[in-house]
Every structure is written in C-alpha cells, then in structure tokens.
C-alpha cells in the first residue's frame, strides 16, 4: 500500500522543520521539560529514554557513523574479497543516504535510500563481526 501525499507536503515539512526562528523557537520551548527529564534520567540511570521517541534519529546520529568508521578501518586493514565487497557497498549506500539529506528527501517513497541501506546492513550483518 502506497500512501499518497499532497505535492506541497515536502515543501511544507522542510519549512516547518527548518531553522527558521518562527518555527524553531516554539519547538525549542516545548522540548525544555523533556530535556530536563532526560538529563535526570542520564544522571541516575546512565542513559535516557530519548531512544524510544526517535529511534531513527538515534540510529542516524550514532550508529551510521560507527558503521562508516568500521567499514573504512576494515577496508584499510584489508580483508577477503567478499568482506571488501560488502564493506565498500555499505559505504556507497551510506554516501547515497547522506546525499539524500539524511533520508529526508525521499522518506515518503516506498523503496527509499534509507530502507535500502538498512536492508543491506540487515542482510549482511553477519559479515560485520571480526
């Protein structure tokens, strides 16, 4: 099932989630209580629950750079042919994802760059172990 959105929705979303102060300041003010709560969670638990609210953002912020560093290091070390192919393909997919404005330009399409990257990683996760 493909969801069809109005053609202007991409422009509206870009404008709404831009760094325009008219849209940014109310969002920042709304986030203050949640940021305080997360700070207390980090203080007492060592981690916070922000992962549950934005799992995609968390993975994009921490996991993709880690995969990129890992693949680059393994390619420098040299591996067998299959691992080299998998690591280089993963790096290509990450570069495509970065060119797509972190997946935002095509997030409403069914087979977007983000889903291709995560599917490839999931299908080849066994090759990422030493």
129 vs 79: CA distance, rounded Å: 12
1 vs 50: CA distance, rounded Å: 30
Residues 40 and 84 grouped into a single domain? no
**Average per-residue pLDDT in the chain?**
82
Residues 36 and 97 grouped into a single domain? no
**pLDDT at 1 > cutoff 70:** no
Chain centroid to CA 22: 26
How many folded domains does the chain comprise?
2
The boundaries of the domain holding residue 33 are 1-53
Residues 68 and 125 grouped into a single domain? yes
Structure tokens given for 126: 């066994």
Distances in whole angstroms, Cα of residue 65 to Cα of each of 33, 55, 61: 29, 15, 7
Q: What is the pLDDT of residues 21-73, one digit of tens each?
A: 877 788 788 888 988 998 999 899 888 887 777 777 778 888 899 999 999 98
15 vs 4: CA distance, rounded Å: 20
């Amino acid at each position: 099932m493909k969801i069809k959105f109005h053609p202007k929705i991409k422009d509206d979303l870009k404008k709404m989630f831009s760094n325009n102060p008219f849209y940014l300041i109310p969002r920042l003010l709304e986030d203050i209580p949640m940021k305080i709560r997360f700070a207390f969670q980090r203080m007492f638990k060592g981690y916070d629950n922000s992962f549950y609210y934005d799992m995609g953002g968390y993975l994009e912020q921490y996991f993709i750079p880690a995969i990129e560093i890992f693949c680059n290091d393994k390619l420098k070390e040299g591996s067998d042919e299959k691992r080299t192919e998998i690591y280089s393909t993963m790096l290509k997919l990450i570069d495509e994802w970065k060119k797509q404005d972190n997946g935002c330009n095509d997030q409403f399409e069914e087979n977007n760059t983000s889903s291709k990257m995560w599917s490839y990683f999931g299908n080849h996760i066994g090759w990422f172990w030493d």
